[in-house]
Structure 1
């Protein structure tokens, strides 16, 4: 059975009227008010009870409640003016509605005991209340406010709020009361302070209202204080968690993420926070799996204090320290849970007795509470965060522990992500550096310098550069950029660089080399997509070949930025090279462009990471690059350094940057000799004689014997198997003598092993044994067979 409450149901009149206006219920109070018995009214229209012409005003727009006065018919035939409150309700969801009409039988008259009841209510109300006069001096408080203040009314009556509290917050409360007193507009003020005699601070909501008499004269201000500490702490916890999700993990840097964790916790949770991370136990960089064994070696990653300079810190940033089993750091790591001191079993002084220096620092700054929270993510222990309080008097609560654990858990995931990214970045960077040339080769054609910088935040990409010596003292220069970042981009870069070197060895023209490279990227895309991925592999590339004899440079590019040329004494300009499509589209042609370069010209090849910037557009970046190159045209290494310093932001570029500078050299005509050779085997001997004489004039007599044999074999083969015209050319620099024989045939020779009784087939084998390298290249008119002879240094 339901509980029976001691209420007099007949003390108020109640009636229920359905949607059709029919009375469904009539109680005893209604009978006492109008004299009609329930049997006389129920089941009849309610309109019969209304006086003629008495029409109730329409209900409010929401239709839920109506109040007003009605003239109702009494049983004696007269009419009574009755104050009625009506509520619209539904007995069940979706069912018909009805109106509940109520009226107090006593009307609005006060009873003799109401004043006493009101006085008792104000005095004993759980809401703390205080009344101040027009001078903002206390005149009265109720029991709840006396408990909040911690003093009886007679001791503080006549004092102002700052004089009662003595805290800075009370001064702000008094200023707000004065505003209410002057303006008459009620105000709400939030304050966080301790009640009288209490250890913990509370969150208070103070509601202020101006008091006036019946004539409107200002009497003072009424202040009612509500303790909303639970709601305040919940709101602050939600705010701090939201702030942590925004502020922690803004970068993929481990140290920066640890510092963000410390910054979020100070001063919201603690006055000093230190974050120490475990050192990786192997070369893979993986974090230490739980559990951890003592003693524990930790590296200080971050700390933060309410005091400038963090004087509470014992360990410097970046330094390691060893923590025994009795330390706050080791205890929480060994237990794999948060530990707070002091608690029921541990005193803070005893906990820190393992380190005298730390104990002295705790006593010096008055640290009275410490909380150690292990940093764990994905089943691995990463480190520990230690939170300390010395300015805030209250100890850590269970809610503080939950909040610290939630924030630390978010930070742990960010730190683990940063560690994984750093490990992958280091791996990709090591792969990248192993695939890039460590030292550029010394060539007769160009003097070169280079720089490579990985992206500051996006990870290592696939930018590369190379300088490749070709036959005939020529030199190839290449710069490329693979789409994407990470290990995959670095690996793709390595494959493309190897392919370029292989294609360069067979002396393909720049446009032909890019065509073969495009086919390779198409195949790589197809292979990458075979495992269900998108398989999109793309790259850009620029390939240039410079001939120091003719001083001409042939350039072709595949969607790559054009090179920049600074001729000696001339203005900086971009070379007009047809853009060409990026590598990987397949079937698109590449067009070369040829330029004559004066000796001492500086050719600049680069990837788009150098000139693409959020601070300026592409044209402005390229103009800035030209300006820097024009100023620093002396040392190529210094120029590279100045280019990167001037164009890249202080925090590093958002994309990889590869930069290659090459200053051209010309080979003097005195170091080149050429002859037309008739197609007559009997004239090979005179040709050899001319060669010896030319070497004597160059001062290279020591190479005469080898050169005779090589020239004799190459010229003889050209006469036998080639097509007229035949031409012999000798080129030399300080270290190398090059013998070239050209003819009109496109058939390339090949090295084969002669059998015992074969009369021929040993010529090219002899050439291969006598020279440091040899080969052939196709030309527009046929082919050229070349061989390089190393010159002995005197």
Structure 2
């Protein structure tokens, strides 16, 4: 029977696409549909009585299928089109219904059915078919697949979800149904309506619009994948990467603790605290246990989403009270992370005062992970959850432990650096002289500022050395390298300079001998460390009697001279090579500054404040001194102001700064005479000295001074020739006597025998004064003595006078 009706629709299936023919017992066409007429190109009248197999090819195979008494299927061609057909007997008439479909369409329908069946059969991806009203028509979503009950047919899939998540999901499906634009991989939170604070499931939803046979939208299919664990793994991996990048960015213990707390905040908890032992903060090795023995824990860092929750708690820098013994604390001490509910944490503390200090308001759970590094317990990190009631699960606990382990290494590295840095600073401070010096020649002030943000301290130093005849040596230097090796080398150089200073050599000669010393040190150093042996140094000698400065430079920046009126200028001194280069001579230069001038010596760390631009650095130093200067300013204040003028930039290298204000001995406190090399000069020298002491009111020193002058002038006349120079210098504390002659012979103190006629002169001189020595000039030498103006320091002569 021919069917002229329109297509009957069921989803995307079209019945009118199937060609239907009815044949009798002999296979002759009795009737067929309009689709069959279109397929074969014949109307019903033309097809009546024609064997159907003759319209198909191959006819023989098709005939056996059509005439079979059972349901059969076959393949053939109809009007040039490949078709699949099926034959269904209709008893008792003996007629057969033959349904034909183009093979291409039959394959498509079969594949679609197979795909749809396979999709619904699997349980990994949820499938939901919705009608126009977004009611669920068919689904494979089982109970608990997304942490919620399975929806039933006719129900909305979002039934049972939290209102906000249900609205979001329904809006997603409605938008796909309205626009036809598919949603691909949209992430959707699936919180339950009866437990919105429970850890939510997250689904990846892809939705597509369905159409009927006429292309009219008639529903939406949604493919849902539970990506909760995948997203958590990705988030945990990202958190590990962030922890590796952020934690341990510096060698500061407290900053590293803050970095750890900040990384863990939000992702794992809403309040994070990091507690370290006091020994760790000081750089010492921590004790073997945490919290139960001294030193106690100290709160090093706090990170909180709501600062009001942290206000009543133990704050940063506060020391923990003694914690009671508990199984949880023992587990942490054994190196295990521990998770507790709020009630369990309160029970472990067992003291209302401890609860008030350590348990935040609204806390739901607590997780404590130890900070262990190299077998040492450095402290613990605590993660509180206040908004979410559930504690950390096993994956989050493993993540926290791994981050804590990495952070502990960073904290321990900072601790070990702090210990070495403290040792280096302590050693350097012990090796450096007192920062302030107030002597006859100069008023001096030294400032040392170590570099920040470095792993080691440097070898910069300054020194003020008191020399005979009221003179002073001013030293500034910088050893190559950092750390204890540089500090040790600095100590050796400073000791060598103190020894050379006693020889009263010319500054250029002092640097030459230091250069030789550096080369010997380099020869003793391992080959891979030779490049680290070297130093720069400036050595200056100031004579307040002659108001003269003589200096030599070995690679340091040019010194600055500030005149009493505030004029600032660089000292034009020949810049010699750094110590250790060898082969290049050093030159001395002499200045005659006004009394009250300030000589400023500094290391190159001061230039490093200006982004490695030495010219700009020198200009800024000059401007800083000019702007900070005013008459009578305290030298330490001047140094601080100058450093402040250079900005708040943290130094990349150590800075040593030495400022010395020159003084001049009043001319009335000195007396000079030149005497010929004649025997009568000895008596004349004694008289000149005695008259001068009488004029100064120091006649109590006449006897000792006469002995000193007599012996020294006698030796000069007898062994050196003339002219012989005699100079007396009066200071507030000492009387200085100097005898000069043209000889370079080194005087030596010897003990004469009982029968020796001479050799006792220097021995007598040594008994009459506090100390004595000699120095060499460009021509000849000078022997000097110092006598204390304090009567208690006059030696055996004072005793002799007392007896008289």
The TM-score bracket by the shorter chain reads 0.7 to 0.9
- Residue among 379, 386, 393 paired with 2:375: 379
Q: Please give the secondary structure, in 2, of the residue aligned with 1:613.
A: helix
- Residue among 721, 729, 732 paired with 1:731: 729
Structure 1 unaligned residues grouped into runs of 5+: 1-32, 36-73, 84-104
- 1:546–1:553 CA contact under 8 A, matched in 2: yes
Give the superposition deviation at 1:504: 0.8
Cross-structure match for 1:624: 620
Cross-structure match for 1:303: 302
Give the superposition deviation at 1:191: 4.3
- 1:289–1:379 CA contact under 8 A, matched in 2: no
- Residue among 461, 465, 469 paired with 1:468: 465
Distance 1:406 1:349 in 2: 23
Q: Please give the secondary structure, in 2, of the residue aligned with 1:240.
A: helix
Cross-structure match for 1:411: 407
Number of aligned positions between the proteins: 695
Give the superposition deviation at 1:667: 2.3
- Residue among 528, 552, 555 paired with 2:551: 555
Q: Please give the secondary structure, in 2, of the residue aligned with 1:144.
A: coil
- 1:266–1:273 CA contact under 8 A, matched in 2: yes
Aligned residue runs from structure 1 range 250-261, under 5 A: 250-261=249-260
Give the superposition deviation at 1:303: 2.0
Cross-structure match for 2:582: 586
Cross-structure match for 1:442: 438
Instruction: Spell out, residue by residue over 1:501-545, the C-alpha distance to the aligned partner (whole angstroms, 9 max, x if none).
Output: 110110111111011111111111222227x75473111111111
Give the superposition deviation at 1:769: 2.0
Cross-structure match for 1:674: 672
- In structure 2, relative to structure 1, the CA distance for the partners of 1:111 and 1:217 (3 Å cut) is closer
- In structure 2, relative to structure 1, the CA distance for the partners of 1:702 and 1:227 (3 Å cut) is same
Aligned residue runs from structure 1 range 276-355, under 5 A: 276-280=275-279, 285-289=284-288, 297-308=296-307, 311=310, 314-327=313-326, 330-342=329-341, 348=344, 351-355=347-351
Cross-structure match for 1:702: 700
Cross-structure match for 1:432: 428
- In structure 2, relative to structure 1, the CA distance for the partners of 1:283 and 1:150 (3 Å cut) is closer
Instruction: Spell out, residue by residue over 1:229-287, the C-alpha distance to the aligned partner (whole angstroms, 9 max, x if none).
Output: 22212211211111111111111111211221111111111222222222439998222
- Residue among 729, 750, 768 paired with 1:752: 750
Q: Please tell me the root mean square deviation across aligned C-alpha atoms, in Å.
A: 3.9
Distance 2:661 2:265 in 1: 56
Aligned residue runs from structure 1 range 68-83, under 5 A: none
Deviates more, 1:137-146 or 1:591-600: 137-146
Deviates more, 1:107-116 or 1:411-420: 107-116
Q: Does 1:516 align with 2:517?
A: no
Cross-structure match for 1:546: 542
- In structure 2, relative to structure 1, the CA distance for the partners of 1:182 and 1:482 (3 Å cut) is farther
Distance 2:493 2:174 in 1: 77
- In structure 2, relative to structure 1, the CA distance for the partners of 1:305 and 1:141 (3 Å cut) is farther
Q: Please give the secondary structure, in 2, of the residue aligned with 1:750.
A: coil
Instruction: Spell out, residue by residue over 1:146-203, the C-alpha distance to the aligned partner (whole angstroms, 9 max, x if none).
Output: 964657467865x9x8996433796599589859966947543334553566743223
- In structure 2, relative to structure 1, the CA distance for the partners of 1:216 and 1:34 (3 Å cut) is closer
- In structure 2, relative to structure 1, the CA distance for the partners of 1:116 and 1:611 (3 Å cut) is closer
Aligned residue runs from structure 1 range 139-218, under 5 A: 142-144=139-141, 148=146, 150=149, 152=151, 157=156, 165-167=162-164, 171=168, 174=171, 184=181, 186-195=183-192, 199-209=198-208
Cross-structure match for 1:54: none
Q: Does 1:777 align with 2:790?
A: no
- Residue among 717, 724, 729 paired with 1:719: 717
Structure 2 unaligned residues grouped into runs of 5+: 1-56, 60-74, 85-101, 793-804
**TM-score, length basis structure 2:** 0.78
Give the superposition deviation at 1:204: 2.5
Deviates more, 1:715-724 or 1:218-227: 218-227
Distance 1:676 1:535 in 2: 52
- Residue among 588, 594, 599 paired with 1:598: 594
Aligned residue runs from structure 1 range 217-232, under 5 A: 223-232=222-231
Give the superposition deviation at 1:297: 2.5
Deviates more, 1:415-424 or 1:107-116: 107-116
Instruction: Spell out, residue by residue over 1:641-692, the C-alpha distance to the aligned partner (whole angstroms, 9 max, x if none).
Output: 2122332536x42221111111112223222211111111222112211112
- 2:278–2:298 CA contact under 8 A, matched in 1: yes
**TM-score, length basis structure 1:** 0.79
Give the superposition deviation at 1:111: 9.0
Distance 2:178 2:610 in 1: 55
Cross-structure match for 1:647: 646
Distance 1:315 1:453 in 2: 34
Deviates more, 1:422-431 or 1:117-126: 117-126
Cross-structure match for 2:234: 235
Deviates more, 1:460-469 or 1:583-592: 583-592
